[in-house]
Amino acid sequence: MKKVLLATDKPFAKSAVEGIKNIVVAAGHEFAIIEKYKTQQEFMDAAADANAIIIRSDIADKALIEVAKKLEIIVRAGAGFDNIDLAAATEHKVVAMNTPGQNSNAVAELALGMMVYMARNTFNGNSGFELRGKTLGIHAYGNVGKYVAEIAKGFGMKVYGFDPFVTKEAMLKDGVTPLETAQELYKTCQYVSLHIPANAQTKQSINYELLMSMPKDAVLVNTARKEVIHEEDLKKVFAERADFKYLSDVEPDCKAELTEKYAARYYATPKKMGAQTEEANVNSGLAAANQIQISELRCQITDIRTQMSENRRHKSDF
């Protein structure tokens, strides 16, 4: 019997936990869970004898991977791998996976929700404005970006997209106007919704030049990662543009300063909320549990094949 640990500092909905547990137990494994843990040490202690781990934004760094001596597979029930030390995983022969697309609609709904929230002055009773007819730029047209486009079109927004990895035809098919460069996107759109991953190319790439080029009453919406924002530049833009607003599902490091100086133009969820719906929890959690079973089956098949070829080799030895 192997131990599958569900380690979520931010707990999944009960139905998702039940579903994951059922899959794990039905496969003959032991199910363990750690939620709302206070320190990384607690996570490390729980991981020490785990064969498989399912996480969300929980940190699977080198220390965690090294302490989990029996670990064979780690699955991020969500998008990206930025919280898993892939080099350490490779070194220790740990398979790392994620569940792309499973929580995308939830994230997209939050992006639009935050836009409405700010357009209506955080529901403070003052007259706001509507999204209909406004320009929206989707920066990276992946799983989340597509849903944002679909919902925004329902609001009557004019939707543009920039993604060097997606064809113009694919965007046009969805009624999205493709643009050639990020510069063009920011220059064209009053709203920009970020869906880029955090990697060496994108970290701190959302900078002064891009944000200053946005049209009047610019709104940047970040449901991606805080690391993609150049925060010193962000602070400069806030100081120089009284019309600039920032909405984020990932609190920036400079949140105290933004809250103090620009409370009416800045909003961040206190804890990442994009994927925090029952549907997204069930989709990504169950996908993660199923992927562990599939990966385990693949390993078993590989073992059987290896054994068969070993047997053949031994036979031919005689």
- Which listed range, 18-26, 76-84, 181-189, 285-293, lies at the site for ligand 3PG (CB under 6 A)? 76-84
| Residues with Cβ within 8 Å of residue 53, at least 6 apart in sequence | 4, 5, 6, 7, 47, 60, 68, 71, 73, 74, 75
Q: Does position 57 bind ligand 3PG by CB under 6 A?
A: yes
Quick check: 222 binds ligand 3PG (CB under 6 A)? no
Q: List, in sequence order, every residue forming a beta bridge with 158; answer none if it has no partner.
A: 135
Restricted to residues 259-278, the positions that interact with ligand 3PG (CB under 6 A) are 272, 274-276
Q: Which is nearer to ligand 3PG, 135 or 276 (CB)?
A: 276
Residue number, 102 or 188, with CB nearest to ligand 3PG? 102
The closest alpha carbon to 20, from 70, 71, 54, belongs to 54
**Count of residues that interact with ligand 3PG, criterion CB under 6 A:** 11
Q: Site residues for ligand 3PG, window 84-143 (CB under 6 A)?
A: 103
| Shorter beta-carbon distance to ligand 3PG: residue 177 or 199 | 199
Cα–Cα dist 80/50, whole Å: 22
Residue nearest to ligand 3PG (CB): 78
- Apex CA 254: angle with CA 87 and CA 160, to 5°? 75
Residue 226 as a binder of ligand 3PG (CB under 6 A): the answer is no
For the beta sheet containing 135-139, the strands, ordered from the edge strand earlier in sequence to the opposite edge, are 177-178, 158-162, 135-139, 191-194, 219-222, 245-248, 266-268
For ligand 3PG, what does the binding mask look like between residues 16 and 55, x meaning CB under 6 A?
A: ----------------------------------------
- Count of C-beta atoms within a 10 Å radius of residue 143: 17
- Site residues (CB under 6 A) for ligand 3PG? 10, 56-57, 78-80, 103, 272, 274-276
